[in-house]
Amino acid sequence: MDNINKNLQDYQLSLLKQVDDKFYRWIYHQIDWDNRMIGLKGPRGAGKTTLMLQRIKYHTDKKQKPLYISMEHPHFYNRGSLFETAQEYYQFGGRYLFIDEVHKYEHWSRELKVIYDGFPDLKIVFSASSALEIFRGDADLSRRVITYNFPGMSFREYLKLKHNLDFNNLLLENIMENHREISVELSMKFQPLPLFNLYLKEGYLPIIKNTKSESYLMQLIQIINTTLIQDLQLSKNLNAGSINRLKTILSIIAKSVPYEPNITSIASKAGMRRETVYEFLTYLEQGMILNSIRKNPKGITALQKPHKIYFENPNFNFALQENPEIGTIRETFFLNQLRNAGHTLILPDSTYDFLVDNKYVIEVGGKNKTVQDKDVFIAADGIESGWGNKIPLWLFGFLY
C-alpha cells in the first residue's frame, strides 16, 4: 500500500499502538466476519473503533493489507472521496477496508453500494451512529450489509474490563430456573453488590477504563450532546431549531423518569405539533438516549405513544438527574440489559413491571419486595443470592 495516502496509514499505525487484546466486547464473538459488508451501529463510547482496530491488529491476514479510515479524518474534508480512496486502496492490493463514523460522509450509502458492487473481493466493515437508518439512505444496502447493534457494556463485561473478573454469560432460562445455585456460586468468587452499585453509576461505557470516576459523568453529558448535535442532526437532516426542541423534550423527560408521557403537554412546552413529538421521541430512542416500553409490541410506529419512557441506561440517570430515584435506576437497568441481550419486553396487562418474551412476568424492586401472585418473579436489588421467585437483580447483568 505504498501509494495509499501516507497520512491515513500513519494514523492507522498510531491507533493500533494503543490497542491490546486483553478485553473484547461480547459482540465481537457474535459477528460473522465472513460477510462481505458488516455494519456496526451503536452509541458513542461503546467501543466500535476499538473493535475494528482489534480485528485489524490481531485477526486479519496481513496479505489483505487491512486499512482503517475515519470519515472524521482531514483527508476527507475537501479532497478525498470515499469511493476514490477505496478504489486507490483496492488497486494497490487492499482487500479489507474498515470505515469509521460513516454517517459523517454525505453520500455514504451511495458510495458504499458502488464500492461493494465494483470490487467483489473487497471486504468492508463500517461503523455508524445508532440513529442511522442504514436501509433508508441514498442507496439500498439491505441485500448487501449485515448490521449488528452495538450497545454499552453489561455488568458482566464491566467486571471483566474494570476489575479483571472473568465470567461466562448466562441464558435467561438458566437464570430463571437456577438463579439460587448460580448466584451462590458467583458470590463466592466476588462481592456483587458494591460493584453492581458502581456499575449502575459509571460502568456502561468502556471509556470508564481510562476515565476517573469524577470525569465519567461529564463525558456522558458530552456524548449525549454530541449525539444530539451531530449524529441526529446528520442522520435525520435536522436544523438547529429541531435540535433545540429535542433538547427541550429531553429536559422535560429528565425531570421525571420513568416518564409516563403526556404528548399534548410536551407539544405545548416544546412548541411543536403532537406528531412531531412522537417523531422526535423515536429519534431519541434510535440515538440510544431513551428507552421506551409499550403494551403492544406489534405494529409500533413513530406515532404510537409509549406507555413509559426511561433513559437508555442507568448511567444517564446519574448524569442528567441530581438525585435519581433508586426504583427508576433498577427498572432502567433491567430493561436495558434484557433488551441489549435480545429479549422482548412489554408492559403486562397486570400492574407488574415487565412481561419478558411473552413468558415471564417480572416485578423489579428492593430486597423486601413481595408479590401475591406465585407466577410472578421478583428481580430484587440488595441481595447476593435469591430464593424461590426472588432473583438477584445484578444477575440479569450476565446475559451478554
Task: Report the candidate in 220, 170, 118 with the shortest Cα–Cα distance to residue 391.
Answer: 170
**CA gap 35, 74 in Å, rounded:** 29
Grid coordinates belonging to 313? 441506561
What 3-state class would DSSP assign to 14? Answer: helix
Residue 133: per-residue pLDDT: 77
Q: Give residue 132's pLDDT.
A: 80
**What is the distance of C-alpha 294 from the center of its chain?**
20
Q: How many CA atoms lie within 13 A of 337 on its CB side?
A: 30
Query: Are 103 and 128 within 8 A, CB to CB?
Result: yes
- CA 146 vs CA 12, 32, 36, 285: distances in Å: 25, 9, 9, 21
pLDDT number for residue 260: 86
Task: Give 68's strand partners.
Answer: 98
Q: Give the C-alpha separation, 199 to 208, whole Å.
A: 10
C-alpha cell at 64: 489483505
pLDDT at 135: 65
Q: Which helix (H) or strand (E) holds 297?
A: none
> pLDDT tens digits, the chain, 400 residues: what are they?
555 678 899 999 999 999 999 999 999 999 999 999 999 999 889 999 999 999 999 999 999 999 999 999 999 987 679 999 999 999 999 999 999 999 989 889 999 999 999 999 999 999 998 888 776 656 678 889 999 999 999 999 999 999 999 999 999 999 999 999 999 999 999 999 999 999 999 999 999 998 888 899 999 999 999 999 988 888 888 999 999 999 999 999 888 878 888 899 999 988 899 999 999 999 999 999 999 998 865 555 545 678 999 999 999 999 999 899 999 999 999 999 999 999 999 999 989 999 999 999 999 999 999 999 999 999 999 999 999 999 999 999 999 9
The whole-angstrom distance between residue 73's C-alpha and the CA centroid of its chain comes to 24
Domains of the chain plus CATH, in order, are 6-149 (3.40.50.300), 156-398 (no CATH)
Instruction: Tell me how crowded residue 86 is: count the other CB atoms within 10 A of its CB.
Output: 24
- Asked if 329 and 381 touch (Cβ cutoff 8 Å), the reply is no
List of residues 6+ apart from 45 with CB closer than 8 A: 152, 205, 206, 207, 219, 223
